[in-house]
């Protein structure tokens, strides 16, 4: 009597759960949750997960804890039918005999690092691409950047959109820093590429709004913003909230008058899609992936002169009010970006590329 044939085993690198509130940490968490909620019938997921994050899988899935073999002696590490490298800066890689899919979220370092450091990072990503069975990207914009800066050869590339992180059914909680007046909302780590400083001069010309900016404020760029806020005497109207909880974020999305996101470079632009799910007026830059994600019902800044920003904002708010169907269309577009769709598309790629 023969035993049941073992299912293919796919190891998914969710090592970034060590930083669960980061963008990559959230991607890892949602992908884990999706595969645990809807276990695949014809293959077994295995998660590369830090020991202190095992609670995320509640003992209900197979796992591997990262160790020295995985980093320095891969040939001695466990073998799988396929490995999914969830981001381009992965610290751990499969054994040489294991095929892998590489997900590239962005190549932000090309625009943030010195030329020497950027080229060093690019060579590392190129080596990953060279060994990959397939590459996925999180937007068509990211695909265009990847094709411009990396040699893909015959490696197939697929766009797989990520899902939204904020659950619209989460119980919102009003944060203590919430303004008592009408307010605009921005969320994201304070970094120069996010371009939040332009919102300060913009707000100085809008007497009828406050502004909440949520996100880590440890970067020096946050100090520059604080200095500009003080120079314009806007301390009572601009709230740098630091990192915020999901419950606070849900409240801010629900109660803001509009979401403002002038970022210059985004691999996807998740906060824009999150705001759209709430049917809010969204004002974003017309750069990188944001028009791809936002579609026709988001308002786009092409000019960051504060007076030009105010004109588009006033016109946009009037257009939003005059079009009762716009909120519904924003919600419908945002609802296309689900973790169910993301996991299903990844699973189809796994079946195509795993070792038989």
Cα–Cα distance measured from residue 341 to residue 356, given in angstroms and rounded to the nearest whole number: 25
Write down the pLDDT at residue 59: 66
For the chain, the average pLDDT equals 91
Contact between 112 and 121 (Cβ < 8 Å): no
Q: Which tens digits make up the pLDDT trace of 264-311?
A: 999 898 899 999 999 999 999 999 999 999 999 999 999 999 999 999
Average of per-residue pLDDT across 237-246: 90
Say what the pLDDT of residue 245 is.
Answer: 86
Distance between CA atoms of residues 9 and 6, nearest Å:
9
Distance set, CA 304 to CA 65, 200, 212, 300 (Å): 47, 11, 19, 11
Are residues 43 and 354 in contact, defined by beta-carbon separation less than 8 angstroms?
yes
pLDDT at 217 over 60: yes
Q: Is 111 helix (H, G, I), strand (E, B) or coil?
A: helix
In the predicted structure, residue 108 carries a pLDDT above the cut 70: yes
More confident residue, 67 or 80: 80
Residue-level pLDDT at 69: 82
Question: What is the model's pLDDT at position 99?
Answer: 95
DSSP3 helix / strand / coil % (the chain, rounded to 5): 45, 15, 40
Query: Contact, 262 vs 100, CB < 8 A?
Result: no
Domain positions in the chain = 9-163+338-353, 183-334
Q: Identify the pLDDT of residue 1.
A: 42
Average of per-residue pLDDT across 49-67: 85
pLDDT at site 3: 54
| DSSP type of residue 160 | -
Residue found under tokens 């060279």: 130
The sign of the CA dihedral 89, 95, 96, 98 is negative
- Please answer whether residues 284 and 300 qualify as being in contact, where contact means their C-beta atoms are separated by less than 8 angstroms: yes
Is the CB of residue 63 less than 8 Å from the CB of residue 56?
A: no
Q: Residue 279: its pLDDT value, please?
A: 95
Tens digit of each residue's pLDDT (9 = 90 or more) over 8-34 = 999 999 999 888 767 788 889 899 999
- What pLDDT sits at residue 199? 97
The Cα–Cα gap between 102 and 130 comes to 10
Q: Examine the pLDDT at 232 and tell me if it is beyond 70.
A: yes
Q: Are 9-163+338-353 and 183-334 in the same CATH fold?
A: yes
Q: What is the mean pLDDT of residues 111-126?
A: 89
Superfamily (CATH) of domain 183-334: Glycogen Phosphorylase B; (3.40.50.2000)
Check whether 312 has a pLDDT greater than 90: yes
Q: What is the CA radius of gyration of the chain?
A: 22
Alpha-carbon gap, residue 90 to 86, rounded angstroms: 8
pLDDT in tens, 133-161: 999 999 999 999 999 999 999 999 999 99
Tokens of 50: 């830090």
Beta strands in the chain (DSSP E): 9-13, 44-48, 62-64, 82-85, 100-104, 134-137, 157-159, 183-187, 210-214, 238-242, 258-261, 282-285, 299-301
CATH class name, domain 9-163+338-353: alpha beta
Per-residue pLDDT at 20: 78
Which residue in the block uniquely carries the two structure tokens 């105010």? 310
> CB–CB of 152/181 below 8 Å?
no
């Amino acid at each position: 009597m023969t035993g049941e044939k073992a299912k293919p085993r796919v190891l998914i690198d969710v090592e970034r759960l060590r930083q669960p509130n980061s963008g990559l940490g959230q991607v890892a968490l949602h992908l884990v949750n999706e595969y645990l909620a809807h276990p695949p019938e014809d293959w077994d997921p295995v998660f590369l997960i830090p020991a202190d994050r095992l609670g995320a899988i509640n003992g209900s899935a197979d796992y591997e804890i990262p160790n020295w073999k995985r980093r320095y002696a891969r040939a001695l590490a466990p073998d799988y039918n396929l490995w999914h490298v969830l981001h381009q800066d992965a610290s751990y890689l499969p054994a040489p005999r294991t095929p892998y899919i590489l997900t590239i979220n962005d190549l932000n370092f090309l625009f943030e690092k010195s030329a020497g450091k950027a080229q060093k990072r690019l060579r590392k990503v190129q080596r990953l691409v060279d060994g990959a069975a397939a590459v996925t990207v999180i937007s068509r914009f990211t695909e265009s950047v990847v094709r411009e800066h990396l040699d893909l050869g015959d490696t197939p590339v697929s766009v797989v959109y990520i899902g939204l992180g904020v659950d619209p059914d989460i119980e919102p909680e009003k944060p203590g820093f919430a303004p008592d007046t009408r307010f605009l909302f921005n969320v994201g780590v304070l970094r120069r590429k996010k371009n939040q400083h332009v919102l300060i001069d913009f707000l100085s010309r809008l007497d009828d709004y406050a502004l909440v900016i949520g996100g880590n404020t440890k970067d020096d760029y946050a100090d520059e913003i604080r200095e500009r806020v003080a120079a314009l005497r806007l301390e009572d109207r601009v709230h740098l909230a630091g990192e915020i909880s999901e419950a606070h974020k849900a409240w801010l999305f629900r109660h803001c008058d509009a979401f403002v996101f002038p970022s210059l470079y985004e691999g996807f632009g998740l906060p824009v899609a999150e705001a759209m799910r709430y049917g809010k007026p969204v004002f974003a830059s017309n750069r990188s992936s944001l028009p791809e994600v936002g579609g026709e019902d988001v308002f786009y800044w092409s000019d960051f002169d504060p007076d030009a920003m105010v004109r588009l904002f006033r016109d946009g708010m009037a257009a939003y009010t005059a079009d009762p169907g716009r909120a519904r269309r924003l919600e419908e577009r945002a609802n296309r970006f689900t973790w169910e769709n993301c996991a299903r598309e990844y699973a189809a790629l796994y079946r195509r590329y795993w070792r038989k």
